[in-house]
Structure 1
Amino acid sequence: MDEKSRHTYSSANEPEIALHRKAPHHLPTNPYIAFKAVHFIKTAMNYQNILTQQKQGIFSITINRPEKLNALNKATLAELHQALHQALTDAQTGAILITGAGDKAFVAGADIKELAALQATEAKAFAKKNQDEVFNLIADAQKPVLAAVNGYALGGGLELAMACHFRFASDNAKMGLPELTLGIIPGYGGTQRLPALVGKAKALEIILSARQVDAVEALAIGLINRIVPAADLIAEAEAFLQQVLKQPASAISAAIKAVNATYSVNNGYDIEIEQFARCFASEDFKEGTQAFLEKRKPNFSKYN
């Protein structure tokens, strides 16, 4: 990764400044009753890092930390889990749309300060928890989930987008998995979902080089479904989901289950969690995160 790319990734992960946003909702519990006309659902939950809205059967989740380029910290991941559960158990929701606040980033990575404090055993539990509660919850959702990638989607941000069933990207989007620059590997399913989308060779190229992919290349290799002008991204994503929602809910659910079954024959996600945790016991991880926080180039171990 070049210095410009590294600084883009790091700028999202400096010390935390909490946002305070309220989006109260009251949600029904039957997940598959047909939704009705335009309306908004309000919940009593107070979200600090995300915004939610339900309109015409689409439950929108906006990661709302633009001053951190919408980086995923523990609190944001916990709120994502809560919001996803709401959407999946809401009778008037047929589809879910996930995007980031502002015009610079979808999600520009994880919270590196939080990662730097983890020991190997903690890293394993951390990856397992978030894979189960957020990333796998999205991938296995019986309602279609679309990521509207509005800018940078790096590290956990790209893993979040790849967990979704569809990815629409703005024309200024940049995507990548730069975890190796920190001495670790992707830990939220990136090593499994990227090759499933783009093939083994291209996935290894992107992961091992830690380079960023622009929207044009992402479309060409199958990483995204379509490129949309930034100003039209949300409208086009909503229009597409409305088209999907014309199909019967039972058939949508069955199709998602059947397609997902193609990728459920191995334990690659468990292996990823194990290898992710092992990285946290390495000197390269200590050097990578320290260099990241000190805004300098890391001095990693090299092959002889």
Structure 2
Amino acid sequence: MIYTITFNPSLDYVVKVKEFNTGIVNRTYKEQLFLGGKGINVSVILTKLGINNKAFGFVAGFTGDEIRNKLNDLGCKADFIKLKNGLSRINVKLKSKEESEINAKGPEIKEEDIKELYKKLDDIKDGDILVMAGSIPSTLPQTIYEDIIKYLGNKKIKFIVDATKELLLNVLKYKPFLIKPNKCELEEMLNVKINSQDEIIKYGKKLQEMGAKNVLISMAGEGAILLDENGGVIKHKAPKGEVKNSVGAGDSMVAGFIAGFIQENNYDYALKLGIAAGSASAFSEDLATKEKIDEIFFQK
């Protein structure tokens, strides 16, 4: 079984304005409402690929109810903790000549809510996969990723972590099964400037030396590189296409990789399916459909 955790899910309200101007009334010509949150995105793509999974997280208010409704409509299994106060986030994505975003803070998560999450984590068994992805709300301890890994440390669980800076660096000592930095995140974590794929490999191996078993480094339109736990370096290019929305592409890559690994127990296959899923979402206005993922996968 695969589990995902999204600590601060959202509804992403995308509005398109031909020419945005401050200080006056602007009228949209297109509006869309999408689910937001890295763990949720992973769960949605896994579900579309026919991989059984369950999404954990925190929701609040009528916006939290809508998040659960949308996941239910997509056929996703979700077991969220309903907070007593506040609202799940609505993030505004304004697309005009330039793109601007207003990301909300999110509801307060209290100690009793965290304890409720740990009760749910007790259901995770040996051999399961736990995906922890995304940022941490300010009301949670910044050690929450580490705390969860330590809490489940007596079980044989594959941990997958997709986070930035210290959130990721601090879990490496626990030997996560997979981490997925992109090139920019790799530069930020190690305080370096990367100018070539050879350097990407060099610094990716440093993360392996620090504990990560498999390091998947996404490079946007250039594809991805996987440094696997057997010492292998696997590269695949991304297909060509019109990028319509990069949000969720990295999460889709993680989901595709997981699905491929479960299906074939083969890292090359997993990377190919990961790139296909990531590219399919990038070429779509929302997260990719299975048909779009298959189309890209089988043309590679």
Q: Same fold (TM over 0.5)?
A: no
Question: TM (normalized to structure 2)?
Answer: 0.33
Per residue, is there more strand in 1 or in 2? Answer: 2
> Which structure carries more relative contact order (alpha carbon 8 Å, separation 6+)?
1
Per residue, is there more helix in 1 or in 2? Answer: 1
Question: TM (normalized to structure 1)?
Answer: 0.33
